[in-house]
């Protein structure tokens, strides 16, 4: 491992690094990977044409490019494994994982451009980064045909492109001797694209009994939902229906029609779990010994597949399980215009079929944190030999604004929920004392 930094006139900065890493997860022929980075920055504020502009306190441009490695596969994955099984009271060994002697490091090439700005006596500070991350030789468990006896094999299967922007703006709108107001705005946007795959498609995003909810194809995203489209309830029979492609004699799609046979329903791309914009807004106010602050997080756009809602949206054939109140509006011969299928005692898995029935807009805003504190005046503390006493009241996750029926809109980037605890509302009262 080596690193070199160079500074010229405190104005131009250059850096480079190199490292060689080895991992026992790969065979000897591909165990070692070479990773490096180069970067440069320019302190524009120190240039003569900006030195006399008082309103600009800092202006810095940054550019970097480098390669990072990823070895997140099972330990000793290249060698293959056997498992011990018991059949007819006899123990035996059978292959459980295929050997992968050609498996190698996944490489991520990162290009980043950044700008740092400070204005008006540092009362307005901004930092913006634009990045382009190209990942190749992706480590992935590639599905295999059931006839092989294996579900998949670890492989370097393709390439990804990840592009985005992250930014932070800090401002001080008001600043007097006794009062100060600080504002911090964070924002980000992220886009993902599959640029290379070894086969036409790979179905992913398995969620318990729901099966796969996503599809990987070249030109698509690993976060795109690929599920059936809900067509409502057949008013004549009360059965759940989904859309399927209608084709002409030549196999060309000419439209969509509903079907109550889930095996006939067509899978469609239903949008991405990635939000269009995400971030947070923090405000803090201080007046003499009083301090008040709050943080509001937000996410705009994207989809969320709610795997919890189907558990309470069933047809009555799952004993011991509660129901959603929507069941009161279920289909009956007297109530035909509804979106809730009829009840039945026979096995029917309509509610566990991934479809847009449980796919919602993931936009939300949440009051993540609110804090109020008061520091006792120093004059009160001098007689009791205390340096500082602060009383504080804090609340977390007190308010959440979102449109769908689920428990919590704030989920992982995969955009799927399944028996995850929602964020808990918490209140805390405390006192900090320093001697």
305-332 pLDDT tens trace = 988 888 788 776 667 778 888 888 999 9
Burial zone of 197 (CB within 10 Å; 0-12 exposed, 13-18 middle, 19+ buried): buried
pLDDT of 183 reads 97
For the chain, give percent helix, strand, coil, nearest 5: 10, 55, 35
Residue segments in the chain with a per-residue pLDDT below the cut of 50 = none
Q: How far apart are CA 189 and CA 272, in angstroms?
A: 13
User: Going edge to edge, which strands form the sheet with 240-247?
Assistant: 230-233, 240-247, 253-259
Question: What's the full length of the chain, in residues?
Answer: 435
**Tokens of residue 302, six digits:** 């994207």
pTM of the model: 0.84
pLDDT of 347 reads 64
pLDDT of 365 reads 96
Do 21 and 35 meet the contact criterion of CB atoms below 8 Å apart? yes
pLDDT of 19 reads 93
pLDDT of 151 reads 78
Do 292 and 324 meet the contact criterion of CB atoms below 8 Å apart? no
Residue ranges covered by each domain of the chain: 104-434
Please tell me the number of Cα atoms within 13 Å of 17 on its side-chain side.
Answer: 13
Sign of the torsion angle spanned by Cα atoms 150, 153, 157, 110:
positive
Residue range 13-51, pLDDT digits in tens: 999 999 999 988 888 888 999 999 999 999 999 888 888
**Tokens of residue 412, six digits:** 């992982």
pLDDT of 415 reads 84
| Alpha carbon of residue 309 to chain centroid | 20
**Tokens of residue 229, six digits:** 């489209």
Give the closest residue to 355 by CA, choosing from 204, 226, 207. Answer: 226
């Amino acid at each position: 491992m080596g690193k070199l930094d160079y500074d010229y006139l405190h104005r131009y900065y250059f850096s480079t690094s190199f490292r060689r890493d080895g991992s026992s997860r790969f065979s000897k022929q591909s165990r070692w990977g070479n990773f490096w980075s180069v970067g440069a920055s320019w302190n524009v504020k120190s240039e003569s044409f900006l030195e006399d502009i008082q309103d600009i306190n800092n202006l810095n441009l940054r550019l970097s490019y480098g390669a990072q490695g990823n070895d997140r596969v099972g330990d000793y994955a290249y060698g293959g494994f056997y498992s011990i099984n018991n059949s007819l009271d006899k123990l035996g060994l059978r292959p459980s994982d295929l050997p992968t002697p050609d498996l190698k490091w996944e490489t991520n090439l990162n290009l980043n451009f950044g700008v740092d700005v400070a204005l008006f006596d540092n009362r307005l500070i901004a930092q913006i980064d634009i990045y382009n991350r190209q990942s190749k030789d992706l480590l992935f468990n590639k599905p295999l045909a059931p006839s092989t006896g294996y579900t998949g094999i670890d492989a370097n299967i393709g390439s990804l492109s990840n592009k985005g922007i992250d930014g932070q703006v800090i401002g001080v709108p008001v600043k007097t001797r006794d009062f100060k107001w600080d504002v911090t705005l964070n924002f980000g946007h992220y886009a993902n694209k599959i640029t290379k795959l070894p086969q036409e498609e790979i179905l992913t995003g398995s969620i318990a009994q729901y099966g796969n909810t996503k599809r990987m194809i070249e030109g698509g995203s690993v976060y795109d939902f690929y599920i059936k489209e809900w067509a409502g309830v057949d008013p004549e029979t009360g059965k759940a229906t989904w859309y399927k492609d209608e084709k002409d004699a030549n196999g060309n799609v000419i439209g969509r029609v509903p079907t109550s046979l889930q095996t006939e329903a067509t899978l469609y791309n239903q949008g991405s779990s990635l939000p269009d914009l995400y971030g947070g807004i923090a405000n803090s106010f201080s007046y003499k010994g009083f301090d008040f602050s709050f943080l509001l997080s937000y996410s705009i756009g994207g989809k969320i597949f709610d795997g919890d809602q189907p558990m309470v949206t069933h047809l009555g054939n799952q004993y011991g399980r509660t129901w959603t109140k929507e069941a009161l509006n279920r289909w009956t011969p007297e109530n035909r215009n509804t979106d809730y299928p009829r009840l039945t005692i026979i096995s029917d898995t309509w509610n566990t079929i991934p479809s847009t029935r449980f796919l919602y807009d993931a936009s939300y805003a949440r009051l993540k944190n609110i804090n109020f504190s008061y520091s006792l005046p120093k004059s009160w503390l001098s007689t009791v030999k205390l340096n500082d006493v602060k009383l504080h009241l804090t609340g977390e996750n007190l308010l959440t604004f979102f449109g769908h029926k689920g428990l919590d809109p704030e989920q992982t980037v995969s955009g799927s929920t399944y028996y995850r605890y929602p964020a808990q509302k918490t209140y805390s009262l405390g006192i900090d004392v320093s001697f």
